[in-house]
Structure 1
Amino acid sequence: MHSKKIFTIASIVLMTAALSSCGNTIRGMGKDAASTVNATQSAGHSVAKAAR
């Protein structure tokens, strides 16, 4: 019974750590996507200005 309790607690700790790192990764991917959109829009504006 004692080892089952330790295994359960260890599993919960590991799952919590894994989920928190996934959240950081997703947040970082969102920032990268936003930066890509901003860079693309900026490049589009530069091309539009050069075409005038």
Structure 2
Amino acid sequence: MTRRLIALLLLAGTATLAACNTVAGAGQDISKGGHAITNSAEKHSD
């Protein structure tokens, strides 16, 4: 019983950490895309 609980907690923790990293990475990618669009618009507006 205890081994199953520990295994379940470890799997849940691993899944949570992986999901956080994925969301953080996606946010960074979107932010970089926004900066690229802004920079391009500023260059072409002169």
How many pairs were matched up?
46
Q: Mark the runs of 5 or more structure 1 residues left unpaired by the alignment.
A: none
Moved over 6 A (4+): none
Larger Rg, first or second structure (1 or 2): 1
- Give the percent of matched residue pairs that are identical in Structure 1 and Structure 2: 22
Which of 3, 8, 22 is the aligned partner of 2:5?
A: 8
Deviation at 1:40, TM superposition (A): 0.4
Q: Which residue of 2 aligns with 1:32?
A: 29
- State the TM-score, normalizing by the size of structure 2: 0.89
Which of 37, 42, 46 is the aligned partner of 1:45?
A: 42
Q: Mark the runs of 5 or more structure 2 residues left unpaired by the alignment.
A: none
